[in-house]
């Protein structure tokens, strides 16, 4: 099947799942709480990047009811004004396709930016007001270019490339950057997510990457993804990759640093397969990999079936670690380097996080009321793990909501407010009080979101908004641990320019008069037409100057009473504008 065909299959699945969604629910009928998140990698572990992207999208599509947001690994920072688009260089499908596919499920899209700059370069960028401001603008421009819901920062170079002697210098620069980026993103209704390695409370004396400063940035970020894995590497010998007993103290420190709902447990769907014992001499074709000193081979949930089926395999789940250990033996027959017949039996030890491990981490989400789990890497897990999360998510549950609004008018003059009235209730009709209500206003292709009011005791809300040009408006509420997010349908609002003008109260037939005026907001080149008794006068069209001013030369042809109006032609931002009628006596 071609890459394009696979995308179309994903889109077909999207449509089918959406069509199957029921339209109404009883009060007790909750949806699973959306406690899954994760990263879509920009590569495939098994060699086919396009296939890796597709299998990730397919996995999200199959379990969309559990996903709160997704972090595509699409971008790498090279400098303060250059962010490399890795998606464009490795995929033939236009980026709008995965974006629209994921958003069709109501999943928030916060793509990840990794640090691809030189050693120490990012710290230097953050140290200067000018370059830091440029970097913030570059990031925000990227978010707005595809109307992403926010951005996810994975700046691990600080921890694993920069010298640890620079960490005290990095911390204040990092904190200031996060504060300023957060302020800019939040002003536009966008979210800020941050990924960091495991941190421990500094008072414990445990080694940690303290410069990521959870306590200092906690009030500014919206998501913290704790990379609670890689306790071991493929070269460190057999053992758990992400033991709960290791990262739970860090989790508790995070809870002391920020609200619990911001915190996500980074959860691996992979592990390693090590050789722990060799009896005999292995054939030359496997001697490099089937040795005690060899690096562990990476294994994923989706590829575990052959290992689990090994004859005599011993499978043990360790509840302290929240990981499963598989021990099995393999026998290899062949020839050695000299060509002589040889054989060996190797003992393997596999550690990885399976469905039971996902259940253990989902239980931590419930216990500590966390935001959820972030999976590395989406597309390499199996359905049993997702089903295990769903069981906990259903127990936690979220109520569906109904959010509606109306307005008395949808066309106004510039500067004239529109009053919107609406209600926020559960689908069974129960009102929800004191809920922040956000207005989402789209104009010129960009959407801004800001809180405008809160719901009253009966769930009602009222908001008066002033529009500077034509726009689409809708209202929304945030998701909580008890409720899904709510969003109304959007409504079009049209705005007409204001026209001030000066017209003589009386005119002499055949004489020439200059009618002057100004259009607000001022703009050059707006077309203004003179109307007499609501009929445009042929040939009397003029354009405004750079100050929005215009002059019409008019000579009445016959006597009587005229009702004159000036009209400014509509455009993409404004509806047609009209003056109030001016009654003129023509002698």
Nearest to 492 by CA among 407, 578, 402: 407
> Which whole number is the average pLDDT over 259-266?
94
Q: What is the pLDDT of residue 14?
A: 38
Task: Give burial (CB, 10 Å; 0-12/13-18/19+) of 319.
Answer: exposed
Q: What is the pLDDT of residue 43?
A: 66
Contact, 359 vs 373, CB < 8 A? Answer: no
Residues 33, 132 share a domain:
yes
Q: Where are the beta strands (DSSP E) in 215-320?
A: 223-227, 263-268, 270-280, 297-300, 314-318
Domain boundary among 365, 396, 427: 396
Tell me what percent of the residues of the chain surpass a pLDDT of 90: 76
C-alpha 343/C-alpha 333 separation (Å) is 4
> Which whole number is the average pLDDT over 455-464?
92
Residues 578, 545 share a domain:
yes
Q: Given the structure tokens 């559990």, which residue do they identify?
A: 66
> Which whole number is the average pLDDT over 288-299?
94
Q: What is the pLDDT of residue 204?
A: 87
Other C-beta atoms closer than 10 Å to the C-beta of 543 total: 11
Tell me what percent of the residues of the chain surpass a pLDDT of 70: 93
Residues 337, 212 share a domain:
no
Q: What is the pLDDT of residue 210?
A: 92
Q: What is the pLDDT of residue 494?
A: 95
Nearest to 377 by CA among 34, 61, 73: 73
Q: Given the structure tokens 């499908």, which residue do they identify?
A: 93
Computed over every residue of the chain, the mean pLDDT equals: 90
pLDDT, greater one: 307 or 92: 307
DSSP character string of 511-578: --EEEEEEEES--TT-EEEEEETTEEEEEEEEE--TTSEEEEEE---S-EEEEEEEEE---SS-B-EE
Domain count, the chain: 4
How confident is the model over 417-433, as pLDDT tens digits?
999 999 988 877 778 88
> Which whole number is the average pLDDT over 364-387?
94
Q: Is residue 1 scored above 60 in pLDDT?
A: no
> Which whole number is the average pLDDT over 433-442?
93
Residues 487, 502 share a domain:
no
> Which whole number is the average pLDDT over 24-42?
73
Q: What is the pLDDT of residue 21?
A: 36
Phi, psi of 403 (to 5 degrees): -130, 120
Instruction: Point out the least confidently predicted range of 43-57, 333-347, 380-394, 404-418.
Output: 43-57
C-alpha 62/C-alpha 572 separation (Å) is 40
Structure tokens that stand for 9 in this block: 């299959």
Residues 532, 512 share a domain:
yes
C-alpha 163/C-alpha 543 separation (Å) is 63
63: domain CATH number? 3.20.20.80
| End-to-end alpha carbon distance in the chain | 83
Q: Is residue 26 scored above 90 in pLDDT?
A: no
What are the beta bridge partners of residue 462? 421
pLDDT, greater one: 189 or 42: 189
Instruction: Give helix 244-255 / helix 355-368 axis angle, nearest 10°.
Output: 20
> Which whole number is the average pLDDT over 97-126?
94
Residues 478, 564 share a domain:
no
> Which whole number is the average pLDDT over 164-183?
96
pLDDT, greater one: 209 or 2: 209
> Which whole number is the average pLDDT over 151-170?
94
Q: What is the pLDDT of residue 576?
A: 93
Contact, 201 vs 251, CB < 8 A? Answer: no
Nearest to 556 by CA among 533, 579, 528: 533
Q: How far is CA 171 from CA 168, 194, 522, in A?
A: 6, 14, 47
> Which whole number is the average pLDDT over 323-343?
96
Residues 56, 139 share a domain:
yes
Question: Would you place residue 49 in the very low, low, confident or very high pLDDT band (cuts 50, 70, 90)?
Answer: low
Residues 436, 358 share a domain:
no
Q: What is the pLDDT of residue 65?
A: 93
- Residue span of the structural domain in which 288 resides: 270-351
Q: Which long-range contacts (CB under 8 A, 24 or more apart) does 99-102 make?
A: 99/146, 99/148, 101/7, 101/10, 101/11, 101/14, 101/57, 101/61, 102/57, 102/60, 102/70
Instruction: Point out the least confidently predicted range of 38-42, 106-110, 154-158.
Output: 38-42
Question: Would you place residue 257 in the very low, low, confident or very high pLDDT band (cuts 50, 70, 90)?
Answer: very high
Residues 375, 331 share a domain:
no
**pTM, rounded to two decimals:** 0.74
Contact, 270 vs 240, CB < 8 A? Answer: no
How confident is the model over 195-246, as pLDDT tens digits?
999 999 988 888 789 999 999 999 999 999 999 999 998 999 999 999 999 9
C-alpha 376/C-alpha 361 separation (Å) is 14
Nearest to 270 by CA among 383, 389, 387, 381: 381
Q: Is residue 3 scored above 50 in pLDDT?
A: no
Residues in Cβ contact with 148 at an 8 Å cutoff, skipping those fewer than 6 apart: 99, 109, 110, 111, 142, 190
Residues 213, 151 share a domain:
yes
Other C-beta atoms closer than 10 Å to the C-beta of 12 total: 11
Q: What is the pLDDT of residue 350?
A: 98
Q: Is residue 9 scored above 50 in pLDDT?
A: no
pLDDT, greater one: 397 or 197: 197
Domain boundary among 459, 478, 495: 495
Residues 10, 44 share a domain:
yes
The secondary structure element, H or E, covering residue 405 is strand 401-407
Residues 109, 66 share a domain:
yes
Domain boundary among 467, 495, 523: 495
């Amino acid at each position: 099947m071609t890459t394009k065909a696979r995308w179309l299959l994903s889109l077909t699945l999207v449509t089918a799942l959406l069509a199957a969604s029921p339209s109404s629910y009883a009060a007790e009928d909750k949806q699973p709480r959306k406690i899954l998140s994760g990263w879509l990698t920009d590569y495939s572990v098994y060699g086919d990047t396009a296939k890796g992207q597709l299998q990730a999208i397919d996995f999200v599509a199959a379990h969309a009811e559990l996903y709160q947001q997704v972090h595509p690994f699409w971008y790498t920072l090279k400098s303060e004004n250059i962010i490399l688009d890795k998606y464009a260089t490795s995929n033939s499908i236009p980026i709008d396709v995965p974006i629209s596919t994921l958003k069709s499920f109501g999943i928030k899209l916060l793509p990840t930016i990794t640090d691809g700059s030189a050693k120490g370069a990012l710290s230097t960028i953050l140290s200067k007001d000018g370059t830091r401001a440029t970097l913030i603008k570059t990031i925000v421009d990227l978010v707005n270019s595809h109307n992403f819901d926010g951005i996810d920062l994975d700046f691990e170079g600080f921890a694993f490339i920069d010298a640890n002697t620079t960490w005290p210098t990095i911390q204040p620069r990092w904190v200031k950057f996060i504060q300023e980026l957060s302020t800019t993103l939040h002003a536009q209704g966008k979210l800020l997510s941050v990924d960091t390695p495991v941190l421990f409370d500094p008072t414990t004396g445990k080694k940690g990457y303290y410069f990521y400063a959870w306590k200092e940035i906690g009030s500014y970020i919206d998501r913290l993804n704790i990379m609670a894995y890689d306790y071991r590497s493929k070269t460190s010998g057999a053992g758990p990759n992400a033991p709960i007993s290791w990262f739970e103290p860090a989790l508790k420190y995070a809870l002391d640093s920020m609200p619990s709902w911001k915190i996500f447990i980074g959860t691996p769907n992979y592990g390693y397969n090590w050789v722990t014992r060799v009896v005999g001499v292995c054939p030359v074709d496997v001697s490099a990999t089937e040795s005690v000193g060899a690096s562990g081979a990476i294994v994923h949930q989706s590829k575990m079936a052959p290992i689990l089926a090994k004859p005599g395999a011993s499978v043990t789940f360790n509840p302290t670690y929240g990981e499963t250990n598989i021990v099995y033996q393999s026998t290899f027959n062949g020839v050695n380097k000299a060509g002589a017949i040889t054989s060996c039996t190797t003992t393997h030890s596999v550690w990885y996080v399976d469905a039971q491990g996902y259940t253990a981490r989902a239980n931590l989400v419930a216990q500590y009321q966390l935001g959820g789990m972030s999976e590395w890497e989406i597309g390499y897990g199996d359905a049993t793990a997702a089903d295990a999360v769903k069981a906990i998510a259903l127990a936690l549950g979220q109520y569906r909501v109904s959010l509606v609004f109306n307005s008395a008018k949808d066309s106004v003059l510039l500067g004239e407010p529109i009053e919107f009235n609406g209600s926020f209730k559960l689908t069974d009709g129960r009102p929800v009080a004191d809920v922040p209500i956000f207005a989402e206003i789209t104009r010129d292709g960009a959407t801004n979101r800001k809180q405008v009011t809160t719901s009253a005791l009966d769930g009602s809300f009222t908001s008066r908004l002033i529009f500077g040009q034509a726009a689409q408006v809708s209202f929304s509420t945030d998701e909580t641990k008890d409720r899904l997010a709510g969003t109304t349908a959007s409504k079009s609002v049209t705005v007409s320019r204001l026209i001030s003008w000066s017209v003589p109260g009386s005119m002499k037939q055949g004489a020439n008069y200059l009618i002057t005026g100004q259009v607000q907001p001022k703009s050059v080149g707006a077309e203004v037409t003179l109307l007499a008794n609501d009929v445009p006068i042929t040939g009397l069209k003029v354009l405004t100057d750079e100050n929005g001013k215009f002059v019409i030369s008019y000579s009445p042809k016959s006597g009587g009473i005229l009702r004159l109006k000036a009209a400014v032609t509509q455009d993409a931002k404004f509806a047609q504008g009209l003056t109030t009628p001016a009654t003129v006596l023509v002698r």
